Amino acid sequence: MDKREFKITADGSHTLYVEALDETYHSKHGAIQEAVHVFIEAGLNYFNQPSLNVLEIGFGTGLNAFLTLLEAEKTGVEINYTGIEAFPLEEEIIKGLNYTAELNSTDKEKQLFKQLHQVEWESTQKITELFSLNKTKVELEQFETREQFNIIYFDAFGPRVQAEMWTEAIFKNMYNSLAKDGVLVTYCAKGSVKRTLKAVGFEVEPLPGPPGKREMTRAKKL
């Protein structure tokens, strides 16, 4: 695995910098702010139903999963969460992440964040009464599923450094993995990405971006 190093973003929360890619896991303008804006507010909270199936592309630091778990506890929505990750982080890096401190998490919530990372891969684990997690170690190009998701958090590294993650074939797979009226949300608003999403059948909606970005993208399966 390429070397990762901690960086503090504008809202005080950590991101990880990958020197070999010259890329970070989260926005330098605020890791927590970006995740809340893109994945919780524009994705999870787009729906008003008692249960949701969520697929995350790029489990990474576990930030998106943790924020989703916290939202489930707050709203009472039952979440079945699948996170795929080709290169899981080492335990020492996970221990160094400051998300629970920046979110003023309770002791119980701190334990839940640890649990997200410590539970077994390749099997569904019940984290709370409302939140179940299935972590799968696989590269996106090889990911296959029969499950139908309501939401896809598309949080892969950007097309500048990993263009193979943003192809028509990948987005066709994502489209087929969504239930009717399901949505894919991503921080990326590049014109080429939006055109590719449209080409496989998505209805594409540009939305105001998180701090530091003019736009983000929400794509809906009709």
Q: What is the pLDDT of residues 157-201, one digit of tens each?
A: 999 999 999 999 999 999 999 999 999 999 999 999 999 999 999
Check pLDDT > 70 for residue 26.
yes
Strands 14-18 and 23-24: antiparallel
Q: What is the CATH number of the domain that holds 206?
A: 3.40.50.150
Q: Could you tell me if residue 209 is left (phi over 0), alpha (psi between -120 and 50 degrees) or otherwise beta?
A: beta
Q: Report the pLDDT value the prediction gives residue 21, as an integer from 0 to 100.
A: 87
pLDDT tier, 20 (very low <50, low <70, confident <90, very high otherwise)? confident
Asked, for residue 112, whether it belongs to a domain, the answer is yes
Percentage of the chain lying above the pLDDT 90 cut: 96
Asked, for residue 12, whether it belongs to a domain, the answer is no
Q: What total of structural domains would you count in the chain?
A: 1
Asked, for residue 150, whether it belongs to a domain, the answer is yes
Domain membership of residue 45 as a residue range: 31-220
C-alpha pair distances (Å), 204 with each of 34, 120, 148, 194, 218: 20, 36, 20, 7, 6
Asked, for residue 8, whether it belongs to a domain, the answer is no
Average pLDDT over residues 12-23: 92
Asked, for residue 14, whether it belongs to a domain, the answer is no
Asked, for residue 114, whether it belongs to a domain, the answer is yes
Q: Report the pLDDT value the prediction gives residue 1, as an integer from 0 to 100.
A: 58
Both tokens of 14, joined, read 């950590």
Average pLDDT over residues 206-213: 95
pLDDT of 107-123, one tens digit each? 999 999 999 999 999 99
Q: What angle do CA 14, 15, 18 make, to 5 degrees?
A: 145
Strand order in the sheet with 23-24: 4-8, 14-18, 23-24
Asked, for residue 5, whether it belongs to a domain, the answer is no
Asked, for residue 2, whether it belongs to a domain, the answer is no
Average pLDDT, the chain: 96
Both tokens of 130, joined, read 């409302």
